[in-house]
Chains A and B, each alone.
Chain A
Amino acid sequence: MVKKLFKHEILAYLRVWLPTQAVLLGIALLGRVIQLFETDTTVYSIVSGSSTITYSIAIVVSIGLTFIFGIVRFYKNLFTNEGYLSFTLPVTPSQHIIVKALTALLFQVATALIAILSLTIITAGEMLTELTKAAVYLLNILKQVVGNHLYLYLAEIIIALNILVLTAFLFYYTCISIGQLFKKNRVLAAVGVYFGFYLAEQIIGTIFIIIITVFRDKLPIEQIMNAIEAHPRAAAHIIICGIMLIALIGAAIYFIVVKTIIKNRLNLE
């Protein structure tokens, strides 16, 4: 049943995602083709400049739209009249949530990969070779600084990014779900919840900074700094893994909240 949920979730994304990616790749291709007509004229500068701007906007739009779709899809498929179909399928709330969150992540990653592809298209040829050389050079420098741990770090960073994106989606799902607890204006309520979280975050962050500043002397800040200087590689691993762990815990909490709301407090209009 989960396989079928994934299948239909992916189908729902593809019909919006494929055209946008095609447009992005088209703009990249166009941008590359324009470069073939390079001349020293102002006309060319304007055209190529516009093309570059358009391309930059297109990448941002592509990534942004995919993210927004991941959130809107959750709301539309579960909490509008489509919900009458979704929640009468022989599928548990957990399965719904997991499939939606993972598919949202999947497409976000795919969008990033297509963005990289579009970059290779628009810089194809000499520019791409230069870019690749620069990238390899950068990697080698990093390898010298970090040693063989480089690939481990890269893997950790990629995993951490994935977890952060997943947690972000689950966070928005939580805002939407809490909004569903209200009788009217549920979407507005969800937005309110979002700002509520944002506010809470700011307050907690400020309190945290105040505590650190006030108790500066009592806290082992110097020791921590020395330890990081002494063992930079270990410190980096710990920090990245720490972030991963916190994000995972957040994801778990959000998941439980959404699941509980759907299981016990669902009330479709």
Chain B
Amino acid sequence: MSVLLKCENLVKQYGNLTALNGINLSLESGKIVGLLGPNGSGKTTFIKMVNGLLSPTAGSITINGNHPGTETKKQVAYLPDNSYLNSWMSVRQIVEFFTDFYDDFRPDLAYAMFSQLDIPPERKLKTLSKGNKEKVCLILVMSRNAKLYILDEPIAGVDPAARDYVISTIINNYNPDATVVISTHLIADIEQILDEVIFIKNGNIVLKQTVDEIREEHGKSVDELFREVFKW
């Protein structure tokens, strides 16, 4: 069990708006962690910084000891909440793309999952339904053998049956050497697979506990506790 993600006094400011107010965090490998908070809490800012899409105003962030850069991008698999697919590639072409750029990508696994969902490799990405596009994005990310997975709202735009598929995929892909961070609003559907949760509010971490500890201490589900903590 090693520390995979470490943040020290991470701050992000836009002019006089503070999105992250000095985050201190340490995530171990082998955990599935929920990053929970309302819109504007700083979740997206934090996620972008882990992925090197935003640079900190102050503080540091390291993944396996490296600051966000080309080395970390080889080890981090990111599922953004919008589709990142372009309009003209086919499923096969995007698989080739991932195979070319990521040494840890497993095309056989991807094709197996596509065939489970009846998505033929020759299909053009733009002809896929919204739900299928999201599944394709998820499959591509989960087919990587990464050290850190960041899933931003993996079940939000997806029907309940597909949510079960997403959850099964995450469980199936579980790797004790890797960490999965799931950022979501839909806590009730996902709390079963979480080891720990982090509540983030106004750029600060207000809670970090294992899920069973929460249930033990508060006698509530994480979803219920969330509603309490973030009541308007």
Q: Render A16-51 as a binary contact track against B, CB cut-off 8 A, 1 for contact.
A: 000000000000000000000000000000000000
**CB-CB under 8 A for A266 and B54, given A4-B101, A90-B74:** yes
| Cβ–Cβ < 8 Å partners of B70 in chain A | 90-92
- Among B78-121, those with CB < 8 Å from A are 78, 80, 82-86, 88, 97, 100-102
The answer to whether A90 and B73 touch across the interface, beta carbons within 8 angstroms, is yes
Taking the complex as formed, is A152 at the interface, i.e. its CB lies under 8 A from any CB of chain B?
A: no
Bound Cα distance from A264 to B56, whole angstroms? 9
Interface majority SS (helix, strand, loop, mixed), chain B: loop
Interface size (A, Cβ < 8 Å)? 23
* Shortest CB distance A11–B (Å): 8
* Shortest CB distance B80–A (Å): 4
Taking the complex as formed, is A154 at the interface, i.e. its CB lies under 8 A from any CB of chain B?
A: no
- Number of chain B interface residues as a range: 20 to 34
Bound Cα distance from A267 to B83, whole angstroms? 17
| Cβ–Cβ < 8 Å partners of B71 in chain A | 90
Taking the complex as formed, is A7 at the interface, i.e. its CB lies under 8 A from any CB of chain B?
A: yes
Question: What is the chain B residue whose CB lies nearest that of A183?
Answer: B14
Taking the complex as formed, is A87 at the interface, i.e. its CB lies under 8 A from any CB of chain B?
A: yes
The contact of A8 among B48, B74, B83, B97, by CB within 8 Å, is B97
Q: Render A69-93 as a binary contact track against B, CB cut-off 8 A, 1 for contact.
A: 0000000110001101101111110
Bound Cα distance from A92 to B54, whole angstroms? 14
Question: What is the chain B residue whose CB lies nearest that of A3?
Answer: B100
The answer to whether B53 and A90 touch across the interface, beta carbons within 8 angstroms, is no
Bound Cα distance from A8 to B96, whole angstroms? 10
| Cβ–Cβ < 8 Å partners of A1 in chain B | 101
Q: Render B51-87 as a binary contact track against A, CB cut-off 8 A, 1 for contact.
A: 1111100000000000001110110101010111110
Interface pairs A-B: 7 shortest CB-CB = A85-B84, A90-B73, A84-B84, A90-B74, A84-B80, A90-B70, A4-B100
